[in-house]
Structure 1
Amino acid sequence: MIVAGFGFRASATEHSLSDALALTAAKVDAIATPADKAKSKTLQSFAQAHNLPVLEIEAGAMQAVETPTQSAKVHEQRGTGSVAEACALAALNNACLTTSRVVSADRLATCAIAQGEPL
């Protein structure tokens, strides 16, 4: 299974998410994002347009994952180095990143790709 992990600001648009995903050039089976962002209208609309399920990742699961990318600001706010990487990895068993965090052109969304077995 291939999962796109997303981190994004409240002001992100569907274009922000699309741009970040396009930068990975990946064909994904699902989207993973923090549980507190999963109900965002923008994310739900994006997921529906791409016919992808949204996997809600709890804060503890994100914080338990070691990410290659380490942002001090994100670590202070979320307890992980990269929201996108942590979500992608936490959504799967035996996961490995195939694409580290990329940032949309408008800098409002990040995306990382992981491959592994469904939980």
Structure 2
Amino acid sequence: MRVAGIGFRQGVPLDTLRGVLRAVEALGGPAEALASLPEKAADARLQSLAAERGLPLYPVAVAGLATPTRSLRIMARHGTGSVAEAAALAACGPGAKITVARITAPDGMATCAMAETEETKT
């Protein structure tokens, strides 16, 4: 399974979410699902992106998950180094690995990363 984890700031434009997902997919292949924090997964823009792409959207807890990249601000706020990377890993489950480290959108409003596992989520 290939999951794109997405983190974003309040008020992010939908086009920013589309763009950062495209950038990650260009490096890691097409996403089979999206994942983010529960409060982000409830956001209408992220739900719209998932619907446009016909992808499931998984709300996941990320606190305590180790990530390849690390933001001190995100660590203090969410208990992990990268929301995007941790969300992708959490949604994939055990044995997941990051295949595309977080990419930040040009406007700085969103990040996206990709993780993969051999497992299929049900």
Please indicate the TM-score interval, normalised by the length of the shorter structure. over 0.9
| Superposition pairs of residues 39-58 of structure 1, within 5 angstroms | 39-58=42-61
Partner of 1:85: 85
Partner of 2:68: 68
2: CA distance, partners of 1:52 / 1:81: 25
Structure 2 unaligned regions, length at least 5: none
CA drift at 1:118: 3.5
Q: Could you say which structure has the higher strand fraction?
A: 1
CA drift at 1:14: 1.3
Q: Secondary structure at the match of 1:28?
A: coil
Partner of 1:28: 31
1: CA distance, partners of 2:60 / 2:9: 16
Partner of 1:10: 10
2: CA distance, partners of 1:20 / 1:103: 7
Structure 1 unaligned regions, length at least 5: none
2: CA distance, partners of 1:14 / 1:49: 11
Q: Secondary structure at the match of 1:101?
A: strand
Normalised by the length of structure 1, the TM-score is: 0.93
Q: Secondary structure at the match of 2:95?
A: strand
Q: Secondary structure at the match of 1:110?
A: strand
Normalised by the length of structure 2, the TM-score is: 0.91
Segments of 4+ moved more than 4 angstroms: none
Give the paired residue count. 116
2: CA distance, partners of 1:49 / 1:91: 20
2: CA distance, partners of 1:118 / 1:6: 20
CA drift at 1:64: 2.9
1:53-103 alpha-carbon deviations (Å, 9 max, x no partner): 100102xxx123210111000101111100000000011121001000001
Q: Could you say which structure has the higher helix fraction?
A: 2
RMSD: 1.0
Out of 33, 37, 40, the position equivalent to 2:40 is 37
2: CA distance, partners of 1:4 / 1:28: 6
